[in-house]
Structures are given as structure tokens and as C-alpha cells.
Amino acid sequence: MTVPETCRIAVLDDYQGVALASADWSPLPPGCTVDVARDHLVGEDLVAFLADARAVVVMRERTPVDAALLDRLPALELVVTTGMRNAAIDLGAAAERGVTVCGTRGLAGPATELTWALILACLRRIPEEVAAMRDGAWQTTVGQELEGRTLGLLGLGHIGQRMARVAHAFDMRVTAWSPNLTPERATAAGAELVGKRALFASADVVSVHLKLGDRSRGLVGVDELRAMRPDAWLVNTSRGPIVEETALLTAVREGWIAGAALDVYDEEPLPAGHPFRDTPGILATGHIGYVTAGNYRSFYTDVVEDLAAFLAGAPVRRLA
């Protein structure tokens, strides 16, 4: 790619307005302009914002980049996504249209930390106790301890393994299941491989750490939630569509399980009137598992490097 006198770069979904401050953008060639959209754009607003952009930066799966969108962006030559995997980008369609896709590195800790924050908040009833203190009350709930309880990990990849290490610090038993998990890999990660139903039936906390794909979409439904005990919790900080929304709402409302903690959803941002926002027994956060200052520095530093390398004719961290 020959860098034109002017090269417009569009940055999407910078909700907190941190993209430009999280990295040094000066390595970009003279003539490059960077425009940032802080609101989530869809439809014609999205197309209009990207109309003359030669490069677009997307944050995780906040904005789908599919064939239909690519067909309306003839000037587009590069998509940079934060992270090295983005299920919302049609890599095949990008390749067919000559659009390069590059990724970035990120920190391993933030998602694990947020998952444990949610687990502790649920079992120790922290939101309820904070609200009670503000209302002038004192000790209104009885929490549950982690020691001696069982953490069931649905997925034992990079984050799942970190989850297991933390669980052992709490003296928890750790079980795990995924379609291709072997006993040897589970043992090496400090977990016990069990059957899928056994994981849901025996765990005090089931935590989802699978990648979203055809095999994992809708993997947690009525049968799995019915297998859980009424005092057990489900936590999903992976991807929303892995857990069937309707089934989970029914499970919480009817007391099949104690409750759920969620950071991910089928539709994001979660619509204002969605029942996950106000259903008792559901603790919901707005996909903040990766939202930390350090992670943003890592993301956007690599974004600038990806952009500069592509404009110099030597793309790095290519996904397509």
C-alpha cells in the first residue's frame, strides 16, 4: 500500500474516550488522521462514519464487520481488531475483498480478575450489603465461603487455567470439562476432568471459559441449568451466546439455581430494557472483563504498530 497524502483511520466504539490517550500515535506517517467514535454506531450511521476510511480499528466484538458492510466500504484496506481473535469479523469476506485484518496482544489477567470479582460479589452478597449500608442497615445477608467448595470450569484454556490456580488459593476443588479436554491436560492445570453433566451437577460455581463457535453456541441450556443445584451459581465472562438467555432467565426466576453473574450478552451493548439488567439474582456488568488501563495500553500500542506496519507495506499479526 502506498500511503496517500491523506489517510483517514476510523476508531470505533471508544466508549470511555481512551483510545488516543492509551498509546503514542505519532509513529503514523504524516497525513494520517484519526477519527474516534465514542458512541456505538449501527446501520447508516456506521457506514457514513467509515465511508472514506482506509483503515478501521474495532474493539473486540462490539461492531460486526461482515460482507455486507465491507461491500459498502470500497476505500477500506485494513481492519485492526483488539485481540487476536474476533468472531464478529468475517475473515473470509475480508480476504476475498483484499482487506487485510490484523490483531493485537493483550494482558491475560483482567478477565480472570473480573471473573473472581463477580464470584466473590455473588457468594458474599456484596451488592446487597453495600446497598444496605447506604440505607443505614447492618448485616442483612448470610454469605457463602469458597473454602471446600467446587469450582466447575467449562473450558480449561488460558483463562481457565488461571482460574484454577486462583481457586486453589481459596482451597477449592476444581473440576473441568470441554469437548477435547484430556485427563492429562486437566491434571496438569490442577483440575479434575469430569463429564459435562457431572460438572453442572456437582459445582457450587460454574464458570464459562470457552471460545464462541458452532460447537459452543447454546452449549448451556435447560438441561445443563436443570442439572445444577439450587444453591449454585453460573458465571459467564466469556461470550453471551454460549448460554441460552431464555433458559438462564427461567433458571434464575424459578430458583433452579441461586443466581448468575454475567459480563457478556447476545446483544451488546445490552438494550436498556433487557431483563438481565433488573432481574433479582442476576449480577450484570457491561463487558468490562478486558477494560483496564493496562490492557488498553497494550491494545492501542499494538494498534498503532499494526497501522504503521501496514502502511509501510509489512503487516504484522495478520489474521487475514
Q: Which of 8, 62, 162, 287 is catalytic?
A: 287
217 an active-site residue? no
Distant-in-sequence, close-in-space partners of 133: CB < 8 Å, separation ≥ 6: none
Q: Which of 268, 274, 305, 318 is catalytic?
A: 268
Nearest to 263 by CA among 290, 241, 291, 237: 237
Strand order in the sheet with 7-11: 32-36, 7-11, 55-58, 78-81, 100-102
Distance from C-alpha of 178 to C-alpha of 185, rounded to nearest angstrom: 11
Helix or strand or coil: residue 81? strand
Distance from C-alpha of 164 to C-alpha of 138, rounded to nearest angstrom: 34
**Residue owning grid cell 438462564:** 248
Q: Which of 62, 149, 239, 244 is catalytic?
A: 239
209 an active-site residue? no
268 an active-site residue? yes
DSSP label of 275: G
Name the packing angle between helices 158-169 and 109-123 (round to 10°): 50
Query: What are the residue numbers of the active site?
Result: 239, 268, 287
